[in-house]
Structure 1
């Protein structure tokens, strides 16, 4: 689940041993077996040194599922090989499960033995430390990972520390209540961390992503910050962005593929703007301008309306906020939360989403989709005044 407001992918993991596949058939003289054992030892040392090398003090790492090619040594020049492995990392206190990065590792043998000449991502986005040395800043509720040549990560700590209690006030303590943010140095690096086309993410202030390798319902979530777009925001805007993304982290276990984006993005914006004292016209300026010009929606936003670069994406978020604000004001915050969790229930797998949403609206709020849409459209029209 991606959003316009949020954030990241990274971490570090504490495992104890290198996990190896069965040994390949030995070459004459046992060379293949020796090579695998030697490379495993090099990578074990490299994993132990990763926290110090990357700036992630206190993190632990391990390379697992190592695959080393067999065969004779290279002829003419130093012996070289390219191995593959998974780098599993976990940051204590923030990751329930290790974050897993497939890696491609080029090694060369010199008189002192094997050494790593190059390591890179092998499919998927890079890790933050692939882009440069990392520096960290921590607070009561958050940890910020930044690049040494980028913005100071300490500037994000007060924002993260305010976001977590604000989210807890709505969603309770079912989530760990800790936030991990990644802060690259540039917008192109932000796009690289998302493994995305930079053109599609220009203007996005942050994105929340689930780190790879974690079991379903227990992901190691990250908020990745776009330093350029985020840096152009006011202090209030920055707080809204981070609180929005923190809501995605807190509700991850209740958010499923069948959760409509108008609901997941709407509750994140609603939580972020809750108690802000802002009028609806201030929270939804683009939608207000459309209404004043006579351009009114006829239905709640579709999932496609939230795609990066989509026309009218700002209005889609504002319409979604207004829908969730309607639920909270008319039926209460508790029923908004209950409806969200009901929509994310396991019985949604394979069900008709529209029919199921209509049923849950009736069960939790006492009104069906058609009546709820009518009430929402009246709220939209009221923005004109």
Structure 2
């Protein structure tokens, strides 16, 4: 029976659209079925897309087997925990670019529409973050918002309005990229061409900075550098880039501190302002101290093992070392930038 799965591996379902992908089942566990001619197996399906995954993506699977004419065959296979594989949701259409591969689900937007956007995002990110990252993007484009939520393993209500999310594919070590940019076809489709470019460049920055991002990296910094990279050289003014924040300031409701991690939670009230506040903080660093200092600060925050030091103390120390100003002083400078949005 294990030989059957070994034979099945290496050739994903035709609906996957991934003819060149490497696939293998591992950690097979058999369970009794209903009678001698039926059995159930659980296994991990490890899939690696050549040129994009340095490490395979792991999908837990439940496989129903039936014996007929002396041979076992797979009758049904489905996800057994965690987000599903794209082909579990429908037929996949692939659209390759020079620096990207888009996996689109049938019935949704044409995946070729994302290719040019992603191909422009990669060099824009490399211009800031260098060439140490793979310099390519793998994007998944579901047919509808409900599929977008399923690919993220969450409640659709939590992800409504989010245009795209970068996820570390299951089974991939932190330093071995197997990232996916999952695009919400409904929210993304409502954006202008400029907005779409900003979103994909933002997500590409997360892919490029993954090796320098840790659990203790504050989200105002990780989301801020992603937005700063995406808006860099756009020619847009701060009030154009941060309209919700500017409206709050004009209404006499400015923030009093840098946004907390919880402010970036999908569906959180004021999430748009949190992103704008984060962008403004990183824009301040890049403009006052230079883009290289911003990049160096980000990498310094992610360096080391993070043990034995409170996060806030660590940020304060690194701000002083890199910018010559501690957390309190930096926050004061940032609040002055916020106030200036009142115009």
TM-score (norm 1): 0.87
Following the alignment from structure 1 to structure 2, what is the Cα–Cα distance between the partners of residues 348 and 295?
A: 35
The aligned counterpart of 1:118 is 76
Deviation at 1:51, TM superposition (A): 5.9
Preserved CA contact (<8 Å) 1:80 1:106: yes
The correspondence for 1:159, drawn from 110, 114, 117, is 117
The correspondence for 1:57, drawn from 19, 31, 53, is 19
After superposition, residues 266-305 of structure 1 pair within 5 angstroms as: 266-305=224-263
Confirm or deny that 1:212 pairs with 2:170: yes
After superposition, residues 177-192 of structure 1 pair within 5 angstroms as: 177-192=135-150
TM-score (norm 2): 0.97
Preserved CA contact (<8 Å) 2:16 2:86: no
Following the alignment from structure 1 to structure 2, what is the Cα–Cα distance between the partners of residues 74 and 172?
A: 57
Cα RMSD (Å): 1.2
Deviation at 1:63, TM superposition (A): 0.4
- Structure 2 residue matching 1:101: 3-state secondary structure: strand
Deviation at 1:74, TM superposition (A): 4.5
Deviation at 1:81, TM superposition (A): 1.1
Confirm or deny that 1:315 pairs with 2:273: yes
The aligned counterpart of 2:336 is 378
Deviates further, 209-218 or 269-278: 209-218
Confirm or deny that 1:46 pairs with 2:12: no
Following the alignment from structure 2 to structure 1, what is the Cα–Cα distance between the partners of residues 198 and 289?
A: 24
- Structure 1 residue matching 2:318: 3-state secondary structure: helix
The aligned counterpart of 1:329 is 287
Following the alignment from structure 1 to structure 2, what is the Cα–Cα distance between the partners of residues 74 and 210?
A: 38
Preserved CA contact (<8 Å) 1:108 1:116: yes
Q: How many residues align?
A: 343
Following the alignment from structure 1 to structure 2, what is the Cα–Cα distance between the partners of residues 350 and 340?
A: 19
Preserved CA contact (<8 Å) 1:51 1:60: no
Following the alignment from structure 2 to structure 1, what is the Cα–Cα distance between the partners of residues 200 and 2?
A: 40
Q: Larger RCO: Structure 1 or Structure 2 (Cα < 8 Å, ≥ 6 residues apart)?
A: 1
Deviation at 1:48, TM superposition (A): 2.7
Following the alignment from structure 2 to structure 1, what is the Cα–Cα distance between the partners of residues 93 and 15?
A: 11
After superposition, residues 224-373 of structure 1 pair within 5 angstroms as: 224-373=182-331
Confirm or deny that 1:168 pairs with 2:126: yes
Preserved CA contact (<8 Å) 2:139 2:181: yes
The aligned counterpart of 1:5 is none
Following the alignment from structure 1 to structure 2, what is the Cα–Cα distance between the partners of residues 220 and 349?
A: 26
The aligned counterpart of 1:16 is none
Following the alignment from structure 2 to structure 1, what is the Cα–Cα distance between the partners of residues 13 and 198?
A: 32
Gaps of 5+ in 1: 1-38
The correspondence for 1:145, drawn from 87, 99, 103, is 103
Preserved CA contact (<8 Å) 1:51 1:59: no
Structure with bigger gyration radius = 1
